[in-house]
Amino acid sequence: MEEIKPQAISRYTSIIAAIANEAIKKIPNVSKEDGVVKNRLGISFLKNTNCHVYIDDSGLVSIDICVNVDFGASIPEVVCDLQDTIKNDVESATKFTVKRINVNVANVNI
């Protein structure tokens, strides 16, 4: 992959974060984390978004995403489905390859 210009990184990360957030809507029993729990976990230094995208020098993408899961849902199954959906959506919509997706279940919706 050709080298990514620094000014384009911000645009690409925003696009990939939007794709990941749209993937949340496709999976039942999952919703976006609004940022309240991040302050309690000590990661409030990150922007107040639920999705953070990092692109390395070789063009591989790492995604950290915080979600809420509905009570009664199987967390491992929901997380696996979400990771697969995000990976497929990002790779089909962009030229990037997804290296890893870290899903943090911040809260259980009752």
- CB proximity list for 84: less than 8 A, separation 6 or greater: none
Residue 47: pLDDT above 60?
no
Domains of the chain: 6-109 (3.30.70.1350)
The confidence band for 72, taking pLDDT boundaries of 50, 70 and 90, is: very high
DSSP bridge pairs for 64: 52, 102
46, 38 in Cβ contact below 8 A?
yes
The confidence band for 46, taking pLDDT boundaries of 50, 70 and 90, is: low
| pLDDT on residue 8 | 83
Tell me how far the alpha carbon of residue 86 is from its chain's centroid: 7
Mean pLDDT (the chain, rounded)? 88
Higher pLDDT, 36 or 88: 88
| pLDDT on residue 79 | 97
The confidence band for 91, taking pLDDT boundaries of 50, 70 and 90, is: very high
pTM of the model: 0.84
Residue 50: pLDDT above 80?
yes
